[in-house]
Amino acid sequence: MQQFEYKTYKINLNNGLFSKKEKVNIDSVEEEINVMGRKGWELVSHFARQNNGFSQFAVLIFKRPITSKSSKNA
């Protein structure tokens, strides 16, 4: 039976009314997702953590099949 390993990637968001944080750089997020894809990771899900109606961060969940070449650190 096929087995998988999973990895999460957290993205801090700037959706608060009085937030002073920098806005999310979508280009850098896209670049990171593409890097993960080249390493064999597939984006399978995501969710956002909210507080008082504003998103604080998003978590992207990736998976890839476990093979003799795959490693938990890659």
* Total-model pTM: 0.74
- Split into its structural domains, the chain has a count of 1
> What radius of gyration do the chain's Cα atoms show?
15
What is the span of the domain harbouring residue 47?
A: 4-65
- 15-37 confidence digits (pLDDT tens): 555 556 567 778 888 999 999 99
Residue 72 covered by a domain: no
Residue 71 covered by a domain: no
Between CA 26 and CA 9 the distance in angstroms is 14
Give me 14's structure tokens: 């700037």
- 39-49 confidence digits (pLDDT tens): 999 999 999 88
